[in-house]
Structure formats: structure tokens, C-alpha cells
Amino acid sequence: MSAAADEVLHLERRGRVALLTVDRPGRLNAIGSDTVAQLDAALDVIEADPELRAIVLTGAGRAFSAGADITELDRLTGPADFARFVKGLTDVLDRLAACPVVSVAAVNGLAFGGGFELALACDLRLASPSARFGVPEIKLGLLPAAAGTQRLSRLLPVTVAKYLLMTGEPIDAGRALHYGVLNDVVDDVVGAALALGESLAAGPPASLAAAKRLVDVGLTMPLASAIVLERETVAGLFATDDRVEGISAFLEKRPPAFGGH
């Protein structure tokens, strides 16, 4: 993606990692239709490039994202307009969640509303000690509408999810870690996320994508059906060149060099 004056999301290659930065710091990286379109375009680039094997997503300045652009919402003329806006955001977050390339959110500051939903669509989440998480839409007479109510209730204890949704009050990084929203809290969150991304990028891409799919899809299935899906999926992985390389490297006591085949 080439730089432009109206670019609000940057894609930068860091080795095998795609670093995506929401760049609207003066508005706390509020998410508008332009952000949605540019994230969709960035995923086109990432999914078409086999050399990019992990995604790190962060925000410029002191925020990850304060959520949906309220000024854009205020210009919407009714429920149908709002539904179209939210569907665009939901669709691109669903695409990020389903992307075969593993994603890591580097939450460098507040993640509210749609910004929290953006982080929830990533596979893994790291945060700085100053990060805060919340869904304050109830204070606007609304609720999260880009899968926030559903991803929160699947990730958190039900009472915690309801508290966040019904009060709109945020939680800090420590509590988010305690509840399992985060994988870790670190000072240099972008550096740590890039290091994690590079470590993941060194793994076998098909197995990473399969692990993601088995967890996400398996949770929606009866246990017996999910176990069958697991067995069939792993049997397919047994036919890959990366499985041959992994076992050879183990027997030869050397690091594997996965080629993505």
C-alpha cells in the first residue's frame, strides 16, 4: 500500500511480519469507513503474499483505537445507514478473524468500542501497562455492533461480559490479563508483538492456519463433530512437506526450516 495524504492505515513489511498501524492519532485512531476500506485492502495484500506469515496490528500515538468515528456516526440518517456502516466494519473484522495469517494485536493505549472489537478479532493480544479496554456504547444509548457482544461473551465469564456491556466502564491491562483477554502485558508492546509475530512466522503456515480454524470453528460445533474435524485436518497436515521437514529436523536435532508447503 503506497503512502497517501488520506491514508489512515499503514502497511509496513518487517521481514515476514506485516505491521498494520491505524494512524489517526489526533482523533485517537477513530475507525471510520476509510479505515474499514483500507484494512480490507491491506488484507488483500497480505493474503496474496506468501512471504507475509504474521500480522501485528497497533495504533499510532497514545491509543490503539477509541472506537467508531462518532462524527461519521452523527451524519448517518437512520437505522439503515447505521446498519450499513456496522456491516462494513463487522465484515472486515470477520475477515481478519478468519484470515489464515495469524494476527497479534499490540494494544499500546486505550481500546474502546470498535477499537476493542478490532483487538478481539485478532488471534493474540499483547498490551502496554497503560492500556485500557471498554465498550462504552451503552452511554450513547447503543451497544457494540461489530461482534463485540458475541466475542466478549465467548471470551469472558458471562458476568464480566455483562458488566462491561451494561456499565460501559473500562478495565485496565492487569484485569484484562487476569480475565484472559490478553496473552501478556509488556512495556515495549510493539517490539514484543513483532518478536512474537516473527516467531509465529517461522512456523508451518498450514498448521498455524489449521490451529486457528480448529479452535474458532470447533467451538461452534458439538464436541464429537469437532474431534472428527480435528482428526481429518491433522491427517491432511501429515501430507505436507512441512510435516516432513518438522520430523526430519526433530530427528536430526536441528531447527526446522518450514517452507510453507
What are the residue numbers of the active site?
117, 137
Q: Is the four-CA dihedral 147, 130, 12, 30 of positive or negative sign?
A: positive
For residue 117, which amino acid is it? E
Q: Kindly list the strands in the beta sheet with 102-107, ordered across the sheet, starting from the edge strand earlier in the chain.
A: 9-14, 17-22, 54-59, 102-107, 124-127, 184-185
Calculate helix-pair angle for 148-155, 158-167, nearest 10 degrees.
150
* Residue 216 neighbours by CB under 8 Å, 6+ apart: 97, 98
Q: Kindly list the strands in the beta sheet with 171-172, ordered across the sheet, starting from the edge strand earlier in the chain.
A: 63-65, 110-112, 132-134, 171-172
β-pair type (110-112, 102-107):
unpaired
Q: Report the C-alpha gap between 247 and 87 in whole angstroms.
A: 44
Q: Report the C-alpha gap between 216 and 228 in whole angstroms.
A: 15
**Burial (Cβ within 10 Å: 0-12, 13-18, ≥19) of residue 243:** middle
